[in-house]
Amino acid sequence: MGSAMYSTDAKNKLEDLSGIVLKPGENPYEAFIQACNNKPEEIQALYHAHRTKRNGLQKEKFLSPDYKELVIDQCLLRLENPEIEPGFRDERNCLVIWARPPIHIIELAAKIQARLQEVSPKIWLMPTYRMHMTTLEITFSKTPQEIDSLVSIIRPAAPSIASYTHTHRSRLVKPMISYDLSAFALSFLPASGEVPLSPAPVAPDTPANGPVTQGDDYTYHHLRRDIFDKVKEAGVEVGSRYQVPSAHITLGRYLTDDEHDTPEKREKWVKAIDDINAWLEKEVWDQQDAQFIGEWVVGQERGLDVRNGALWYGGGRTIVLGEGF
């Protein structure tokens, strides 16, 4: 492997497989909602189609006779192995809005990480205290000075944006592992009529800013639409790399080809993911009184995290953390 730096996105693009074509300038999340007739069952179906199609394509890549190599993140590799390039610093500064998982989702994610590491001990795992889901990427790969100018613009609106989930509560369900040649994640679907499973909000739960919007008609995609609009209303243009129908927490990345350099090793890895996904569907999805809870009401325990810095791997700093419920 050479020392040339490249973006994993460039070699392993997160393609939108939903089939929706956007018009210039429109809110991509609103376009998606309208394409789904504002129906939670159709929104869930497109999220499901995206992740299952993508997993199918990635499985083919892993098992193909033409397989060449994993897409190793060169920045992460240097951060984890400083001897490769002493003094290396990740200069890709971003401005984002994250959703932080509640404890029961972190426990589930940690269990899955442990099972994956049994099969592939050399994988890099996202520390549980850094786990997050990107609700909106505002901008990426900028200088600190460029980010600072955007932060100064959005700062007055940041508390309202961060606490938006206190009164607008969307539900995610049916976790499964999504993966590609560079990383693997725990992905969710917007809820559509599933039995509620999450712990009750922590009392007292009295929102200060009006009535609570909740129920499956208000999906995670509606939340993303609203946050997109609130950021634009604050005076900041959104420059996301993609707006695919995905709600996921990165679990980890690959740092070496050693554990995937033969067909047998790759088959073992793919089978492990298939087995865990089967376990999730049987033992976690829609299961009351199960050991692990697979439902996530976004904003539970903590509101949204308006954050900036070199945060590709869960780093950076919080500007404002919103109120949880």
Residue 236 lies in a domain: yes
Instruction: Name the pLDDT band for 13 (thresholds 50, 70, 90).
Output: very low
Q: What is the CATH number of the domain that holds 104?
A: 3.90.1140.10
Q: What is the pLDDT of residues 251-304, one digit of tens each?
A: 999 999 999 999 999 999 999 999 999 999 999 999 998 999 999 999 999 999
Global pTM?
0.92
Residue 1 lies in a domain: no
Give, in order, the Cα–Cα distances in Å from 277 to each of 51, 180, 196, 280, 302. 12, 15, 21, 5, 27
- Residue 36 pLDDT > 90, yes or no? yes
Domain limits at 164? 25-321
* Structure-block tokens of residue 175: 């976790």
Looking at residue 278, its pLDDT comes to: 98
Residue 20 lies in a domain: no
User: What mean pLDDT, rounded, does the chain reach?
Assistant: 92
Residue 183 lies in a domain: yes
- Residue 207 pLDDT > 90, yes or no? no
Q: How many CA atoms lie within 13 A of 203 on its CB side?
A: 0
Looking at residue 239, its pLDDT comes to: 83
Rounded mean pLDDT of 9-30?
Answer: 62
Residue 19 lies in a domain: no
Looking at residue 17, its pLDDT comes to: 45
Nearest to 257, CA basis, from 245, 272, 249, 269: 269
Instruction: Name the pLDDT band for 22 (thresholds 50, 70, 90).
Output: low
- Residue 37 pLDDT > 70, yes or no? yes
Rounded mean pLDDT of 103-131?
Answer: 98
Q: Which among 4-18, 54-68, 234-248 has the top mean pLDDT?
A: 54-68
Rounded Cα distance between 148 and 152, Å, is: 6
Rounded mean pLDDT of 66-75?
Answer: 96
Residue 75 lies in a domain: yes
Q: How many domains does the chain have?
A: 1
Residue 10 lies in a domain: no
- Residue 4 pLDDT > 50, yes or no? no
Looking at residue 12, its pLDDT comes to: 44
* Structure-block tokens of residue 278: 């089967």
- Residue 10 pLDDT > 50, yes or no? no
* Structure-block tokens of residue 51: 């992740």
- State whether residue 174 is helix, strand or coil: strand
Residue 115 lies in a domain: yes
- Residue 58 pLDDT > 80, yes or no? yes
Looking at residue 26, its pLDDT comes to: 81
Residue in this structure with the two tokens 């999340």, named with its chain if needed: 29
Nearest to 194, CA basis, from 40, 16, 5: 40
